[in-house]
Every structure is written in C-alpha cells, then in structure tokens.
Structure 1
Amino acid sequence: MPKVGMEPKRRAEVINATLTCISLHGIDGMTLDKVAEYADCSKGVVTYYYKNKDHLTIEAFKAFMAYYGLKIESELRSTMTAGEMIGVTMDHILPPYRDDADRKINVSQLDGMENMYIPFEDQARLFLQFFSKAAIDPKLQEVVSESYQADLKGITRIMDYGRMTGHMAVEDSQSAAYGLLAMVVGLSFFRVAKIPPVHGEDNRYIGEDYVRRLTSSQRSSG
C-alpha cells in the first residue's frame, strides 16, 4: 500500500506512465507491468489506484483530453480579443510542429500548470491510439463526447463574445464552433496519417485561415 499522503503524486505518476506507455507501445501493448516500470513503482501500486487495464486506459484518456482544456483556460485573459482567445485555443488543439522530443509527458497540475506538457509526437500517437479504440469502445466514446461537448461550449462562448464586441463575423456561434472543432479533428487525423496539404507541410494554416476569415470579414465590413 502506498504511503499516506502520496496518493495524488502516485496517481499522477501512474497516469503519466500510462500515457507514455501507450504512446510507445499502443493501447494493445500497454500492460500494468510496463506501466509500473515507467512509473518506477510496483504493479501493486498501479492496481491499488486503478483496478485493471480498462479502468486505467479510461482514466488516462480522460487526463489526455482534459489536458487541452486546462492549458487553454490557464492562458486565456479577459483583456484578450475573441481572435486572440481563438488563437490560444488553436495553439493547443492543433499545435504547430516543433522539436520537443526532449520533453516528457506530464498531464498533472501538481507541479504547476506551466509544467504540464505533452510533446508533439506523443500527442499524435496518443490521438491515434485513443480515437481508433473509441470507434468501437462505448466507454471511450463517452470520454470523447463529454470532452468535445465542453470544448464546443467554450469555443461558442468565445465566438459569442467576438460577435458582441464586433471582432468576429459569426451569425451562428454554435455552428461556427462545431465547424472549427470538426475541422481541427479532421486535420489532426490527416497529420497522424501523414497526408500533407497541397501548399505546405503543416496543415495548421487551414484552420487558421478559417478563423482569419471570421475576423477579417468583420473588420472589412466595419
């Protein structure tokens, strides 16, 4: 049994180790023994907090999905324009390519929000693993649905704010938010599948162009 007071730290270490294991070996290749090895603890510690592989997979997926919302929320400021807020959102849900292989997965808030991080390649591999399994696993589908419903509400609020302040030309904020999120998910799959756009290696510009049209059209009509 883990030492008293160690629970939050141990839970975080196990979740980080699980995401690392899934990124390297896939969900099918992830085992409780491997997770224990990556977390530098015994298998008993892993099963003390997470009763089996399915339970651990679901909790790791929840932490993976929650990571993006937490990072976005931590960087949004009331002084920002709606366009700037959407920019922060895009930076996280469809990040630019970067060389960050020296960084490690950390989805825990215990060390401070600034130290939460998922390297670019790990994001891509985890995205592919979790979403391919979610296509046939109802429990993982629930995680996706709850997370994206929350994301849609957040993006919709930003677009409502942009419409109210005159910074965004949006007639239907909910539909615009849905379109943006659907585009980002599709672009993410194309990235993982290594299908580059015709005009460049990073397909992020396609999502940025979608947002730019919403803001520039409003400025031109003002």
Structure 2
Amino acid sequence: MPKVGMEPIRRAAVINATLMCISRHGIDGMTLDKVAEYADCSKGVVSYYFKNKDNLMIESFKAFFAYYGLKINAAIQPTMSAADMIEVTLAHLLPPLSDVTQGAINVSELEGTEKMFIPLEDQAKLFLHFFSRAALDRNLQEVVSASYSADMQGLMKIFDYGKATGQMKVEDSQSAAYGLLAMVVGLSFFRVANVQPLNSEDNRSICEDYVKKITEG
C-alpha cells in the first residue's frame, strides 16, 4: 500500500504517465506495466488507485479534457473584455501552430495551474486516440459530452457578457457558442490529419474570422 499522504502525488503521476503512454503507444498499446514504468512506480500502485486498464483510460480521458478548462479559467480575468476572453479561450482550445514548446505531460494542479502542460504534438495524438475510441465506447462518449457541454456554457457566458456590455453584437449566444466549438473541434481534426487551409495560414484564423462576423454584425 502507498505511503499515507502520497495519494494525490501518486495518482497525478500515474495519470500523467498514462497520457504519455497513450501518446506513444496508443490505447491498445497502453498497459499497466508500461504505465508503471513511465510513472516510475510498481504495477501494484497503478492497480491500487485505478483497479484496471478501463478505469485508468477513463480517468485519464477526464484529466485530458479537464486540462483545457482549468487552463482557460486560470487565464481569464474579470477585467478582460469579452473579445480578450474569447482570444484566451481559443489560444488554449486551438493553440497557434507557432506555439511549439517541449516538456513533459502534466495535467495535475498539484504544482499550480501554470505548471500544467501538454506539448502540442501530444495533444494531437491524444485527441486522435481518445476520439477514435469514444466513437465505440459509451463511457468515453459521456466524458466528451460532459466536457463539451461545460465548454458550451463557458462560451455562452462570454458571449452574453459581451452582448450585455455592448462589446459584441451576438443575437443568439447559444448558437454562437455551438458554432465556435464545432469549428474548433473540426479544425482540431484537420490539424491531426494535416489538412492545410486554402490560404496557407494557421487555421485558427478561420475561428478568428468567425468570431468577428458574429460579434461585429
């Protein structure tokens, strides 16, 4: 049994190791033995906290999605304009292609939100692995649904704030949020598949143009 007080640290290490393992080997190639190796712990520790591979996969999927919401909420400030809030949101949901930095996967808040990090290459791989599995797994579909519902609510609040303060000309905040989120998800798949935009620019410019159209009238 792990030492008393080590549970949050051990759980975080195992989740980070699982995401790294899935990024390198895929979900089918992810095993408790490999995760233990990446986490520098015994297979018994992995099993103690997560029981089996399915539970570990689901909890890692939840952490992967929660990462984005936590980073966005930490970056948004009440004094920001609605447009700046949207820009911060897009910067995390669909980072600029030029924003390439290296580092180890960390989706834990134990060291502070600013320490949380997933390299862009790993984000793309995890996105592809999890979504391909979610197409056939009801449990993973529920994780996706809950996460995107929360994202929708967050975007709607920003659009409502922009409309209430006269900063944005949004007629229907729900439709605007739905459209923007759908565009982000679609462009994320395009990135994974290396589908280049027609203008040869970073495809997040498409999202920026969409926001301008729905907010400036």
Equivalent position SS for 1:205: helix
Q: What corresponds to 1:60 in structure 2?
A: 60
Q: What corresponds to 1:154 in structure 2?
A: 154
Q: Provide Cα deviations, 1:55-109, integer angstroms capped at 9, x if missing partner.
A: 0000000000000000000011111111000000000000111221x31100000
Q: What corresponds to 1:51 in structure 2?
A: 51
Q: What corresponds to 2:73 in structure 1?
A: 73
2: distance between equivalents of 1:201 and 1:136? 34
2: distance between equivalents of 1:162 and 1:96? 24
Query: 1:213 Cα deviation (Å)?
Result: 2.1
Query: 1:186 Cα deviation (Å)?
Result: 0.3
Q: What corresponds to 2:188 in structure 1?
A: 188
Equivalent position SS for 2:175: helix
User: In the alignment, is residue 99 of structure 1 matched against residue 114 of structure 2?
Assistant: no
For the 8 Å contact 2:12–2:108, the answer to whether it is kept is yes
2: distance between equivalents of 1:84 and 1:93? 14
Q: What corresponds to 2:172 in structure 1?
A: 172
What one-letter code is carried by the residue in structure 2 that aligns with 1:125?
Answer: K
User: In the alignment, is residue 111 of structure 1 matched against residue 81 of structure 2?
Assistant: no
Equivalent position SS for 2:132: helix
The alignment covers a number of residue pairs equal to 216
2: distance between equivalents of 1:94 and 1:212? 17
User: In the alignment, is residue 215 of structure 1 matched against residue 215 of structure 2?
Assistant: yes
Query: 1:201 Cα deviation (Å)?
Result: 4.6
2: distance between equivalents of 1:44 and 1:163? 53
Query: 1:117 Cα deviation (Å)?
Result: 0.6
The alignment's TM-score, normalised by the length of structure 2, stands at: 0.98
2: distance between equivalents of 1:149 and 1:168? 22
The alignment's TM-score, normalised by the length of structure 1, stands at: 0.95
RMSD: 0.8
Query: 1:211 Cα deviation (Å)?
Result: 1.1
1: distance between equivalents of 2:64 and 2:152? 17
2: distance between equivalents of 1:167 and 1:20? 41
Q: Which moved more, 1:159-168 or 1:6-15?
A: 159-168
Query: 1:169 Cα deviation (Å)?
Result: 1.3
1: distance between equivalents of 2:119 and 2:95? 10
Q: What corresponds to 1:134 in structure 2?
A: 134
Query: 1:119 Cα deviation (Å)?
Result: 0.6
Query: 1:212 Cα deviation (Å)?
Result: 2.0
1: distance between equivalents of 2:124 and 2:158? 26
Aligned residues with identical type, % of pairs: 69
Equivalent position SS for 1:127: helix
